[in-house]
Structure 1
Amino acid sequence: MANGDLVELQRNSANWAQIVEEIVKLERKIFPKHESLARFFDEELRKKNSGLLYMDVDGEVVGYVMYSWPSSLCASITKLAVKEQWRKQGHGEALLKAAIQKCRTRNVPCISLHVDPLRTPALNLYKKHGFQVDNLIEGYYSSDRNAYRMYLDFDAD
């Protein structure tokens, strides 16, 4: 089970810049440059229809989840990442569950996300929490990397 503090990043918090900087470093380390939101992170987070939760363990950001609700039709989990040395300890699951709860409060009927079919641990985590594969999108990440579009339908609960 994850031990750490699940924290919602507040837009006007005193540590905003520091936390965003740590998340950007993590983003650059985990995702290839063309998949990274690092250059746009601050801008994305300032949008009124987005949110970010992060896992803090003894002052270290070990993972984060970014979500948005671009319309009343469906929310979206944009990013979910955990530092490699902190994986398989429940942090990703805790972040996912919290993001699902946050999206539920927006009164949307579903949440969607994209995941590389080769990222088996991530795929299994999403399936464990009720996400279903909707479609295979060829060339989503790059010409040779596909993605599953997955969704969680709240009406099916």
Structure 2
Amino acid sequence: MMATMAIIELERNSGKVVEEIVKLERKIFPKHESLASFFHNELKKKNSGLLYLHVDGELAGYVMYSWPSSLYASITKLAVKEQWRKQGHGEALLKAAIEKCRTRKISRILLHVDPLRTPALNLYKKHGFQVDCLVDGYYSSDRNAYRMYLDFDSI
């Protein structure tokens, strides 16, 4: 039987979903990298959004993005629960976030990724993101990040 999948935009004040996402965030990311404590503040910002993925009614992943200016947007988090990985869910979330950013009429999306996270890196490259530069010590003193960008063709 096919799983029922839905990508849902987080509504303001949907506390229960936020708690689930915070739990997942803590599980997936190292403590110093987890946004768990910032989640509520992040979501209060007018210029940020979050899409989450339900598979058979269960939280399977989420993507968080923001648009600090009219020039660019950032994908700040993309996470999929371990048992749901390698099934196209991360890709579905990424595409949905790219579309949301595109509707904001921005010309570039930025994100940071650990060069050692090959599946994530390959996913971003597949969707047209290019490596801009290596940022030393982005995650911690001994973990770097690639800054990547995707430019929308100016219309």
Q: Percent identical across equivalent pairs?
A: 81
Report the equivalent of 2:73: 75
User: Residues 60-99 of structure 1: matches in 2 within 5 Å?
Assistant: 60-99=58-97
Question: What TM-score comes out, normalization by structure 1 length?
Answer: 0.94
1:18 to partner: Cα distance:
0.7
Q: Distance in 1 between matches of 2:154 and 2:102?
A: 13
**Structure 1 unaligned residues grouped into runs of 5+:** none
Q: 2:6 aligned with 1:5, yes or no? A: yes
Letter in 2 for 1:8: E
Question: Residues 137 and 146 of structure 1 are in contact (CA less than 8 Å); yes or no, is this contact kept in structure 2?
Answer: yes
Q: Is the counterpart of residue 49 in structure 1 residue 52 in structure 2?
A: no
Q: TM-score, normalised by structure 2?
A: 0.95
The aligned counterpart of 2:103 is 105
**1: CA distance between counterparts of 2:141 and 2:3?**
36
Distance 1:140 1:128 in 2: 23
Number of matched pairs: 154
How far off its partner does 1:131 sit?
A: 0.2
Give the Cα–Cα distance (whole angstroms) in 2 for the partners of residues 60 and 156 of structure 1.
38
Residues 1:143 and 1:156: Cα distance change in structure 2 (over 3 Å)? farther
The answer to whether the 8 A contact 1:2-1:91 is kept is no
| Distance in 1, Cα, partners of 2:128 & 2:81 | 24
Give the aligned CA root-mean-square deviation in angstroms.
1.6
